[in-house]
């Protein structure tokens, strides 16, 4: 299945792209996603994506583990937020 | 409760927001509290050149609506407007505008401050600050987190 | 701290007050909290036709300056504007405008609310409310008194 | 000596005047002022002026007892105040 993966703010800077498309096996969760990303990105990038303060959203909703992805999902890696 | 949440690159026209509120306002409103946040030109003794604000279209609006709903459950509010800018803002520019109308001042003040506290911690934005020496992504401070958490504990003044 | 206190029969032009603040403002200001009080058209289930506000020229201005000085000693404020109307005001009209600018939002919010609380109890004004059934002079409520007194006790959140 | 006496809000309504001039003996304090006012006004008015919640200002400053008046002073009877 195909999903879109988005990177915001400092994570977009680290990854060097705002979004990528990836193909995942079915079924797939966060472990499968990280495995596919790990083939594409360096250890430095992967460490940044897996930092303790990074949250994951699925289709614009904050997600809690364990995650299970579906075809067409929009996954985002969100570094710490602050507005106002 | 009338609610308007807008994310925009354009500047915020405070006078227009206030006039629109007065135009649509039911008469039982007696109190309007507003807050405007500006880009400070200094941060920890370093000059701030600009602040660049990024959002996640759709998710950001939803995160703010969730905060407004919490405020509406907590206080009797008649009208809430939140306008938040994105893009690159120079020092002294307006970042955020919060306007709360209610029957009485206690609710208007409390809700306005509550909304700002949660915008700091729970609204989906990212801010990058540029100084002459560096560019860095900001995080909400420990102080911001503790201010937002403080609303979750029972507030003895709330009955007033 | 720039301070402006005005008592006037004329209406209050909020947009002009805000523009003037932005024009004179030093850049370290990051937070502007404002409050506007309006004549409510209802009070305890009775329709309010008008509110007539009286003052004691000279003494009233001094009483407000004293309140502003207390706020200035309590929080780091850069700019305070208070405009208070007198005369006969119809329902929905503006009564009072308080605008506080500070480096950070905690001080701006707290001072703005403090100023309003003390305007209720310590500013030398008298208000006469007219309903279809009666005309009566108002007094600050027990609730107003307790809100103002609450500022005199140490506030655990003040360090934030 | 001559002093001006002002009445605000509900007290002006009761007295029927915003200000009057009175002549006081020298020296004079609040007792002498009330004696002079008592010759002019009814018991109803005098009770209103001496209500527990009425405060006195001298030359636009809130006064505390005991009061001692001087020629040209501006005395005001202030019913309970409220602004905002």
The rounded distance, in Å, linking the Cα atoms of C70 and A9 is 43
Decide if C73 touches B, using CB distance below 8 A. no
| Residue A13 predicted with pLDDT over 60 | yes
CA-closest candidate to residue D41, choices D25, D27, D22, D60: D22
What's the confidence (pLDDT) of residue B44?
79
Phi, psi of B46, rounded to the nearest 5 degrees: -105, 145
Q: Is the Cβ pair C126, D60 closer than 8 Å?
A: no
Write down the residue that tokens 């029927």 correspond to.
D16
Q: Which helix (H) or strand (E) holds C146?
A: helix C142-150
The rounded distance, in Å, linking the Cα atoms of A63 and D75 is 71
Which residue of A56, A63, A76, A83 is the best one to mutate when testing the B interface, meaning the one whose CB has the most B CBs within 10 A?
A83
End-to-end CA gap in chain D: 38
Say if B and A touch: at least 3 Cβ pairs within 8 Å.
yes
Strands, E assignment, B15-62? 31-38, 42-43, 46-47, 50-55
Residue among C15, C42, C91 whose CB faces B15 most closely: C15
Which chain B positions have a beta carbon within 8 Å of C39's beta carbon? Answer: 30
| Residue B160 predicted with pLDDT over 90 | no
Decide if C147 touches B, using CB distance below 8 A. yes
The rounded distance, in Å, linking the Cα atoms of B95 and B52 is 10
Q: Tell me the ipTM for this assembly.
A: 0.93
Confidence tier at B155 by pLDDT (50, 70, 90): low
User: What's the half-sphere exposure (Cβ side, CA atoms, 13 Å) at B135?
Assistant: 10
Q: What is the pLDDT of residues B44-58, one digit of tens each?
A: 788 999 999 999 999
What residues are paired with D22 via a beta bridge? Answer: D3
Residue among B34, B37, B103 whose CB faces C34 most closely: B34
What residues are paired with A65 via a beta bridge? Answer: none
All structural domains of chain A with their residue ranges: 2-78
What's the confidence (pLDDT) of residue C155?
57
Q: What is the pLDDT of residues C119-141, one digit of tens each?
A: 999 999 999 999 999 999 998 88
CA-closest candidate to residue B33, choices B107, B102, B83, B100: B100
Q: Give the CATH fold of the D2-78 domain.
A: Ubiquitin-like (UB roll) (3.10.20)
CA-closest candidate to residue B92, choices C22, A36, A43, D18: C22
Confidence tier at B33 by pLDDT (50, 70, 90): very high
Phi, psi of A81, rounded to the nearest 5 degrees: -95, 155
- Are B1 and B76 spatial neighbours (Cβ–Cβ below 8 Å)? no
* Chain C: residue whose CA lies nearest to D55: C124
Tell me the shortest Cα–Cα distance from D67 to chain C, in angstroms: 18
Which chain D positions have a beta carbon within 8 Å of C138's beta carbon? Answer: 82
End-to-end CA gap in chain C: 21
Say if D and A touch: at least 3 Cβ pairs within 8 Å.
no
Q: What is the pLDDT of residues A28-83, one digit of tens each?
A: 999 999 999 999 999 999 999 999 999 999 999 999 878 899 999 999 999 999 99
Residue among C18, C29, C32 whose CB faces B15 most closely: C18
What's the confidence (pLDDT) of residue B51?
97
Return all residues near B66 (Cβ < 8 A) that are at least 6 apart. B122
Cβ atoms within 10 Å of C73's Cβ, excluding its own:
8
Neighboring chains of C (3 or more beta-carbon pairs < 8 A): B, D
Regarding beta strands C50-55 and C42-43, do their DSSP bridges make them parallel or antiparallel, or are they unpaired? unpaired
What's the confidence (pLDDT) of residue B159?
44
Tell me the shortest Cα–Cα distance from D8 to chain C, in angstroms: 8
Q: Is the Cβ pair D82, C127 closer than 8 Å?
A: yes
CA-closest candidate to residue B147, choices B107, B120, B124, B108: B120
D20 burial type by CB count under 10 A (0-12 exposed, 13-18 middle, 19+ buried):
middle
CA-closest candidate to residue C150, choices C125, C124, C126, C116: C116
What's the confidence (pLDDT) of residue C154?
64
| Residue C160 predicted with pLDDT over 50 | no
> Domains plus CATH for chain B?
2-25+33-146 (3.90.1170.40)
* Chain B: residue whose CA lies nearest to C155: B157
Which chain D positions have a beta carbon within 8 Å of C144's beta carbon? Answer: 82
Helices (H) and strands (E) in chain A, counts: 3, 5
Pick the residue with more confidence: C154 or C151? C151
Regarding beta strands A74-78 and A2-7, do their DSSP bridges make them parallel or antiparallel, or are they unpaired? parallel
User: What's the half-sphere exposure (Cβ side, CA atoms, 13 Å) at B145?
Assistant: 6
Q: What is the pLDDT of residues D27-43, one digit of tens each?
A: 999 999 999 999 999 99
């Amino acid at each position: 299945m195909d999903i879109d993966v988005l990177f915001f703010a400092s994570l977009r800077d680290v990854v060097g792209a705002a979004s990528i498309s990836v193909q995942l096996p079915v079924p797939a969760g966060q472990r499968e996603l990280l495995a596919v990303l790990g083939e594409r990105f360096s250890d430095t990038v992967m460490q940044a994506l897996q930092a303790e303060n990074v949250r994951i959203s699925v289709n614009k909703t904050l997600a809690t583990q364990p995650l299970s992805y579906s075809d067409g999902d929009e996954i985002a890696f969100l570094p710490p937020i602050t507005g106002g | 409760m009338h609610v308007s949440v807008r994310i925009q690159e354009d500047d915020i026209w405070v006078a227009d927001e206030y006039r629109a509120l007065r135009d649509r306002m039911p008469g039982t409103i007696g109190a309007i509290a507003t807050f405007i946040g500006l880009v400070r030109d200094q941060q920890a003794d370093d000059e701030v050149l600009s602040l660049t604000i990024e959002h996640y279209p759709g998710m950001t609006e939803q995160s703010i609506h969730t905060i407004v709903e919490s405020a509406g459950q907590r206080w009797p509010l008649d009208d809430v407007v939140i306008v938040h800018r994105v893009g690159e803002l120079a020092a002294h520019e307006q970042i955020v505008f919060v306007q709360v109308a209610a029957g009485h001042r206690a609710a208007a003040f409390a809700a306005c401050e509550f909304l700002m506290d949660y915008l700091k911690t729970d609204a989906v934005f990212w801010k990058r600050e540029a100084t002459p020496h560096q560019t860095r992504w900001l995080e909400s401070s420990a102080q911001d987190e503790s201010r937002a958490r403080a609303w979750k504990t029972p507030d003895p003044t709330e009955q007033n």
